[in-house]
Amino acid sequence: MQVYGCILSRATETDKVFKALADPSRRKLLDLLYSTNGQTLGELAKHLDMTRQAVSQHLALLEEANLIATNWRGREKLHHLNPVPLYEIYERWIAKFERSRMRALRELKIRVEGGKG
C-alpha cells in the first residue's frame, strides 16, 4: 500500500505541474521569477495584462503545483521560483530518452563502422 500510495501521489504531483505549465500567463510568471526571484504580487502583476486577482489565482495554482515557494518579508509576500519539480520532470521524461537516443547513435556508429563495439 505504501508503494502504491507513493506512485499515486507522484502521479498527482506531476499532473499538477503539467497543468500549471499549460498556460502562457503562468509560464510568463515563471520567466519573470527566473529573471528576478522573490517578487510581490504587485510587481508581477505589472507585467501581465490582467487583474491582480487573476494574477493571484495563477500564482496560487503555481504554488499548488510547487513551482513557486512563498515567504514573507514583513507584510510583503514574496514569490520564489522553485525549479525542483521541473528537474524531476527532466529526470523522468527527458534525461531517460536522451540516454536511449545516445545508445541508439552509438549502436548505429558500431554498425556503420562494421566494428564489434
CB–CB of 67/27 below 8 Å? no
39 contacts another protein (rule: CB under 8 A): no
Out of 84, 104, 105, 108, name the contact with another protein by CB under 8 A: 84
Out of 14, 38, 41, 43, name the contact with another protein by CB under 8 A: 38
Interface region with another protein, contact rule CB under 8 A, candidates 14-22, 24-32, 76-84, 100-108:
76-84
DSSP for 46-61?
TTSSS-HHHHHHHHHH
40 contacts another protein (rule: CB under 8 A): no
Rg (C-alpha) for the chain, rounded Å, is 20
Residue closer to another protein, measured from CB, 48 or 63: 63
Distance CA 28, CA 69 (A): 16
The CB-of-23 to another protein minimum distance in angstroms stands at: 21
Distance CA 65, CA 82 (A): 10
How many Cβ atoms sit within 10 Å of the Cβ of residue 26?
Answer: 21
Residue closer to another protein, measured from CB, 28 or 38: 38
The CB-of-84 to another protein minimum distance in angstroms stands at: 5
